[in-house]
Amino acid sequence: MNFLRGHRPPESAPPPGRRQGIDLGWLLNRLLTVAPPIVVALYLLMWGQWMIGGSGLLDRSGVPIGGDFSHYWIAARLAWAGEPASAYDALRLQAWFKDYFGVGTHLIWLYPPSFLLVLLPAAWLPYLAAWIVWILLTLMGYILIVRRLAPHPSIIWWTLAFPGTFQNFGYGQNGFLSVILLGGGLLLLESRPFLGGLLLGLFTFKPHLAVLVLLALLAGRHWRALGGLLTGAIALGLASLWVFGPVTWRVFLESLQSSMQIVGSGKVGVGGTLPLIKLTSVFAALRLAGVGAPAALAGQASVSLAVAAAVAWVWARRAAVAGRNALLVLGVLLFTPYEFIYDLTLLALPLAWLGWQGYRQGWDQTEPLALFLGWLTPLISLPLADAGKIQIAPLIFAWLFILAWRRARV
């Protein structure tokens, strides 16, 4: 199927009988069809070599296989052992981590007890089995959501080849789950608003990313979905309160102050540092460029306010669904100062919405390039930040945000 559908054909064709040479359109479409499986094969080869070069549960770099899922699992084990509040004790978490994996960690537990409740079943399985179940279940849900948004025959391969997919897989993070909850909630917003709101309510396990979703529903007067969001968030919170007790929630709320200090100071965990090159927010981009923390936070606040106003305006007008939803997800990525490279899995949502709409209705001149750079962002943002102290991700988010704005107004 033609990936370039929507482009205008040349106004005049070559005269009959004249040799036309290579059909560049056909060649490009063949490349776009063949490239994703090759990229996926390269991903698996690189990951396999990295794992084989390690020892036991550790990869070649001496980090547990599964990356950040290792501290998810340790936190779940602490909760299962009757010590859920100890997950927020950095020294206690590190001691359990070192006892099981044989190496230390600078990771700390920052998530609310509601997410700890979601992860609790992982404690029932051995580590590697729990990691495999976590990755496969969330990966399948992630692919199903993107497939619903852009039902092209090759979309599964393009989703697997998306660098954001590989980043989240390598880090063992929760980006796939974020796409399932945010994408699924927005997908159901018109047909089954309360159910869609329930999924969006569960997305509050990352409260700093869910703030803008609440604003969008309020601006758009999606009252049933808003009721579902509040029901889902409150029910999950009360369930975790019942299972873990009020002490765990108190310790979490006390830890929020430390969480806020992480962004400003760059220090995280026990003797660890927060690598700014792995953050993709406006705040991180300004800090990398040499701007002081107060000015960088002011710059982030200005962008956040502008993005919130734009999202509220578009959602209040009940704009075109694809553009409106893409605008919201891109707004989420621009709104928060605390956003890691593995959160860029969320980019799959606006890329799918905008890409499918362009495929069906035609492209503007700059849209294919913007979407391609958006697709590459999880791959190029970290090397550029490391080598040149330039975090390009917010600039690409902003470009896509403008394109989504234009699509939403049509």
Separation between Cα atoms, residue 284 and residue 403, nearest integer Å: 23
Q: From CA 278, how far away is CA 341, in angstroms rounded?
A: 6
- Least confident range from 73-87, 294-308, 353-367, 368-382: namely 353-367
Percent of the chain with pLDDT over 70: 87
Question: CB burial class (10 A; 0-12, 13-18, 19+) of residue 271?
Answer: exposed
Q: What is the mean pLDDT of residues 186-204?
A: 94
**CB contact at 8 A, 109 and 71:** yes
Neighbours of 12 (CB within 10 A): 6
For the cut 90, the answer to whether the pLDDT of residue 257 exceeds it is no
pLDDT on residue 10 = 44
Sign of CA dihedral 19, 21, 24, 27: positive
Contact 351, 374 (CB under 8 A): yes
Token representation of residue 237: 């919170």
d(CA 50, CA 69): 17
DSSP 330-359: HHHHHH-S--BGGGGGGGHHHHHHHHHHHH
All residues at 6 or more sequence positions from 152 whose CB lies less than 8 Å from its CB, including other chains? 1, 158, 356, 359
Q: Please state, in angstroms and rounded to a whole number, the distance separating the CA atoms of residues 233 and 205.
A: 8
Q: Express each pLDDT in 61-120 by its tens digit.
A: 788 888 899 999 999 999 999 999 999 988 899 999 999 998 888 888 889 999 999 999
Closest by CA position to 222, among listed 334, 297, 318: 318
Residue 132 CA from chain centroid, whole number: 19
- Polymer length of the chain: 410
Per-domain residue ranges for the chain? 63-409
Structure tokens at 391: 């975090």
